[in-house]
Chain A
Amino acid sequence: MALPLDRRSLVRYGLISLALLGSVALVWTAVQVALLDKEIRNRFSSVRWTLPAQVFATPQELYPGLNLPLDELQHELVRLGYRQVGTLEGVGSFVARADALDIATRAFAFWDGPQKATRMLVRGGAGGIEAISDLDTGKPLDLTRLDPMLIGSIYPSRGGEDRVLIKLGDAPELLVRGLLAVEDKGFYGHMGISLRGIFRAMFQNLTSGKVRQGASTITQQLVKNFFLTSERTFKRKFKEILMAVLLETHYQKDEILEAYLNEIYMGQDGSRAVHGFGLASNFYFNKPPAELKSHELALLVGIVKGPSQFDPRRRPELVRERRDLVLRIWADAGLIRPEELVAAKAQPLGLSGTGRGGVERYPAFVQLVTRQLRDQYPDEALTSEGLRIFTTLSPRVQEALEQRLVEDLPALEKSRKLASGILEGAGVVTNAEGGEVQAIVGGRDIRFAGFNRALDSKRQIGSLAKPFVYLAALMEPDRYNVGSLLSDEPITVKLSRNNIWSPSNYDKKLHGNVPLYVALAQSYNLPTVRLGMDLGVTKVQEALAGAGFFNTPALPSIFLGALDMAPLDVAQVYNTLAAAGYQTPLSAIREVLTKEGRPLKRYAFKVKQTLPEGPVFLTTWSLRKVLELGTARAAYNFIPPSVRVAGKTGTTDDLRDSWFAGYSADHVAVIWVGRDDYKPTGLTGASGAMPIWARLMRDLNVKSLDAAPPAEVEEALVDPGSGLVANDSCAGAIRLPYIAGYVPTNRAPCANSVLEAPASWLEEIFR
């Protein structure tokens, strides 16, 4: 039987339910607020602590006697964002005169300690630097260095947020006060929200029926930036207001302002989002915030309103209007004097010319750095701990390599009547003795951070493998020397039961008996295969392993370079030759520092003698002949004749790959040209990659190889036709280097009789 419900109990039940409901709602709201509170606090601390690793180029060393022409030093300063001025101003400026530069350098925390900002006088000219002195004390400086260029950062691939930390105390006063004057005058007085602003916005939104008006405080903008969505609803707005108030209860005003300076979205660079004034300063002006002038600061403050709409590079007129408006607000607020307003408005936008600031200029190189670091640091450490990574990249060498590929590939296409854009290219430059990677280009679109051919495009190397066949031979001085006669006659190699390999020469000709060094210089295939077959595959594998490549297949086809390598792998093996048989694993990193500048890890120089010096010298000597009389003779159209360099052309079947690898006393460079779709290009190593390489070596002003043989090598006068010892009566006799104790003892026929008719290979050379 149902109990009759009278009115009083109904009211009572109603009240109880209401109270219950109210409590539930209260608890729910409290939980929501607590969740929001937690969310906002997590996000806030992540801004303060999540910092991408910063990657720096090698700093330019300066010392008297340095072979750096003053105009190149001036170029380096411009690259670093130093301003050229009439009389020396604050840090980051310089004055150029005919025979000297006055430079106000920036302070910088290096691995081995801080170097303070110095005003210095650098005297010199086209021949290099003659003297350096401190402008304030007059004392000579025997060694100093410029601050290194920031070349990139390692930020998370998801989200893609990048920033360069700026401390509130280090931010220019005009930036901070100017920002508040424009965005939030009452910042230090309000509690996270401005009631007046909200009422005004509400009124306008109600009358228009839509959510339109923002009217956000700095705190609200910061909250909005934390959870970047462009959705505009009352619910979101409410959440934003609540979070702003919560933020204010937890943190000081200065902490919020500092977070804002580092968090606010300032523009887009491809997939990378530019956050904060530190990176924006670099991105738009290629210099630190402390060096920005009032018109530059005004631009940055101006674009905060909407970096996509006010994109300085795409809409300069609009941004200029906005900048001038900011300047007027500043003048009205008394932040700048009226004459400063006039002067600042007269300034152009002053954006850095590269369109990329200093950052993200060298994506191919930064990829290598990231890869080398990933072996030792977890991703999170790289993208969040603000590590400072000092690399081996030389901006000067990198610029030279980039210029070659950017200019020479289109020229090649034009002269060969190839479709424009069809050729791809890649290049690597190292310093010979240190094994440091100085420059990398991963494709003709040099700013593209995608497929990196220098690291990942493993292609057949063709004749680039030959020097290692000859090196293996020269390591057996009782059997082979540079003058040994090799037979250039057809050869068949039985690879398996039904597989017979019959290589031929590139020119399809036979050249009789050819001295070993000529066979290498002219890149003849038949003598090379004969030599390789005589030595055995293992010996050639060992020579390549000694040079630093360990994945050589055990097949006779490796003698002609049926061997896949990336340009960086090639740079490694040629680097060992350039370093006289002393192998140094190629490296791109020197030091890693914490974000406070404390040394974390040094990548110390490593070296090990892995190949004997004498045979390596003989190989280098023969590789010099490639340029003096062999397949790369045309290189001396570009390189001064007094500069000795060594190198080798490489061409693969059907002209699919065009390679050149070679070295001077100071640089090793590898160039590859080909097509991504593996189709033939019609280019040999000599017609494609070699001229690019030769111009590069010219541009780098490389040092000549040391001609003096090492102690275990001696020279002898030899008749090249017979490979035997000659005397004065032998016309055309040449001096050849031998491993000491292994000079041939038999006398050549010419040393007794009259000169015979020269061999056919001789005619080809001296034609």
Chain B
Amino acid sequence: MRLIRPTPLLLALAMAGCVSRAPVGPPVTGVVLPAPGAAGDITPGGPIVPGSRSGEPVPVPDTRPPLNPNLPKNVETSGAAAPVISLVKAARTSLRSGRTDEAGASLERAMRIEPRNPWIWQALAGLHIVTQQGEQAESEARKSTSLGKRNPYLEVENWRLIAEARKLRGDRAGAEDAELKHQDLQRLIAP
């Protein structure tokens, strides 16, 4: 298998779980946060089958509860079982040295233990950005968001991963859209 030398940015993404603190622009007042994973998130050219009308944007009332700072911010604080945490850490180590196959094996092993842990799905998305499998990475980031039950600390990275995934597929507009959602969430969770 071809090894892909990860760039620092890709690595940062693959290390998903660490909420990024990149400087962001001034807060924009009156911004309505999109409900992540809402029907409107599905863009043409994404993995949805054609013919799905729910692929069109729908007005979604923001029923988001106020930000709860006690929400888990990474896999270490997510209440995951100890072996899951060590497997995700092992995957990060493998990825840092470019051993993507090993990283995949560790993450899949973790997933068999906790198949619905959103942080594992996020790490898988990060891995598949590194291996340049954009379509799969976006699907995994979406699944992570869905399993995360409205955790902005999780979603903020997922949107960044989705932006990267769309860039890989050459979907510039979609990538910009995802990047905006990422930035909105950055502002929300900024201290």
Set B37, B50, B112, B136: member contacting A613, Cβ < 8 A: B37
8 Å CB interface, B68-91 against A: 81-83, 86-87
A residues near B105, Cβ cutoff 8 Å: 111-112, 591, 602
Q: Is the CB of B47 within 8 A of A614?
A: no
- A521 part of interface (Cβ distance < 8 Å): no
Set A431, A711, A739, A740: member contacting B112, Cβ < 8 A: A431
In this complex, the member of A431, A538, A711 whose beta carbon has the largest number of chain B beta carbons within 10 angstroms is A711
Q: Is the CB of B140 within 8 A of A612?
A: no
- B130 part of interface (Cβ distance < 8 Å): no
A residues near B143, Cβ cutoff 8 Å: 580, 582, 607, 609
B residues near A477, Cβ cutoff 8 Å: 39, 53-54, 58
Known A63-B83, A434-B115, A740-B61: A608·B47 in contact at CB below 8 Å? yes
Known A602-B101, A712-B60: A608·B139 in contact at CB below 8 Å? yes
- B49 part of interface (Cβ distance < 8 Å): yes
Known A582-B139, A605-B124, A666-B115: A542·B50 in contact at CB below 8 Å? yes
| Closest A residue by C-beta to B85 | A142
Bitwise, B104-146 to A at CB < 8 A (1) or not (0) is 1110110111011000000010000000000110111011011
- A243 part of interface (Cβ distance < 8 Å): no
- A478 part of interface (Cβ distance < 8 Å): yes
Q: Is the CB of A739 within 8 A of B39?
A: yes
Q: Is the CB of A613 within 8 A of B53?
A: no
A residues near B51, Cβ cutoff 8 Å: 475, 538-539, 542
Known A65-B81, A607-B139: A711·B37 in contact at CB below 8 Å? yes
- B172 part of interface (Cβ distance < 8 Å): no
Q: Is the CB of A546 within 8 A of B49?
A: yes
Min Cβ gap B167→A in Å is: 18
Bitwise, A740-766 to B at CB < 8 A (1) or not (0) is 111000000000000000000000000
Q: Is the CB of B47 within 8 A of A610?
A: yes
Known A612-B42, A739-B39: A433·B49 in contact at CB below 8 Å? no
Set A599, A607, A740: member contacting B35, Cβ < 8 A: A740
Q: Is the CB of A609 within 8 A of B48?
A: yes
B residues near A580, Cβ cutoff 8 Å: 143, 146
Known A61-B112, A712-B35, A741-B60: A612·B52 in contact at CB below 8 Å? yes
Q: Is the CB of B149 within 8 A of A708?
A: yes
In this complex, the member of B38, B86, B111, B145 whose beta carbon has the largest number of chain A beta carbons within 10 angstroms is B38
**Could you tell me the distance between the alpha carbons of A328 and B180 in the complex, rounded to whole angstroms?**
84
- B63 part of interface (Cβ distance < 8 Å): yes
How many B residues, CB 8 Å from partner? Answer: 50
Q: Is the CB of A476 within 8 A of B60?
A: no
**Could you tell me the distance between the alpha carbons of A605 and B108 in the complex, rounded to whole angstroms?**
7
Q: Is the CB of B53 within 8 A of A476?
A: yes
Q: Is the CB of A434 within 8 A of B48?
A: no
**Could you tell me the distance between the alpha carbons of A607 and B143 in the complex, rounded to whole angstroms?**
10
- B176 part of interface (Cβ distance < 8 Å): no
8 Å CB interface, A583-611 against B: 590-591, 599, 602, 604-611
**Could you tell me the distance between the alpha carbons of A477 and B38 in the complex, rounded to whole angstroms?**
13
A residues near B145, Cβ cutoff 8 Å: 711
**Could you tell me the distance between the alpha carbons of A478 and B140 in the complex, rounded to whole angstroms?**
28
Q: Is the CB of B52 within 8 A of A611?
A: yes
B residues near A613, Cβ cutoff 8 Å: 37, 142, 146
A residues near B140, Cβ cutoff 8 Å: 607
| Closest A residue by C-beta to B50 | A542
- A183 part of interface (Cβ distance < 8 Å): no
Set A431, A475, A666: member contacting B52, Cβ < 8 A: A475
- A432 part of interface (Cβ distance < 8 Å): yes
B residues near A546, Cβ cutoff 8 Å: 49
**Could you tell me the distance between the alpha carbons of A478 and B52 in the complex, rounded to whole angstroms?**
12
Min Cβ gap B150→A in Å is: 6
Q: Is the CB of A612 within 8 A of B55?
A: yes
| Closest A residue by C-beta to B55 | A612
A residues near B63, Cβ cutoff 8 Å: 714
- A117 part of interface (Cβ distance < 8 Å): no
- B59 part of interface (Cβ distance < 8 Å): yes
Q: Is the CB of B111 within 8 A of A63?
A: no
- B36 part of interface (Cβ distance < 8 Å): yes
**Could you tell me the distance between the alpha carbons of A433 and B81 in the complex, rounded to whole angstroms?**
18
Known A433-B115, A607-B140, A608-B47: A63·B53 in contact at CB below 8 Å? no
**Could you tell me the distance between the alpha carbons of A710 and B113 in the complex, rounded to whole angstroms?**
23
A residues near B61, Cβ cutoff 8 Å: 740-741
- B102 part of interface (Cβ distance < 8 Å): yes
B residues near A143, Cβ cutoff 8 Å: 82-83, 86-87
29 A-B pairs whose Cβ atoms sit less than 8 Å apart in the complex: A63-B81, A63-B83, A142-B83, A431-B112, A432-B115, A434-B115, A475-B53, A476-B54, A477-B39, A542-B51, A580-B143, A602-B104, A602-B105, A604-B108, A605-B124, A609-B46, A611-B48, A612-B42, A711-B35, A711-B36, A711-B145, A711-B150, A712-B35, A712-B39, A712-B58, A740-B35, A740-B58, A740-B61, A741-B58
Show the binding face of B for A, using Cβ within 8 Å: 35-39, 42, 46-55, 58-61, 63, 81-83, 86-87, 101-102, 104-106, 108-109, 111-113, 115-116, 124, 135-136, 138-140, 142-143, 145-146, 149-150
Besides A431-B112, A741-B60, 18 other A-B contacts (C-beta < 8 A): A63-B82, A64-B81, A65-B81, A112-B106, A142-B82, A477-B54, A477-B58, A599-B101, A604-B104, A605-B104, A606-B136, A609-B138, A609-B143, A612-B48, A613-B37, A711-B37, A712-B58, A739-B39
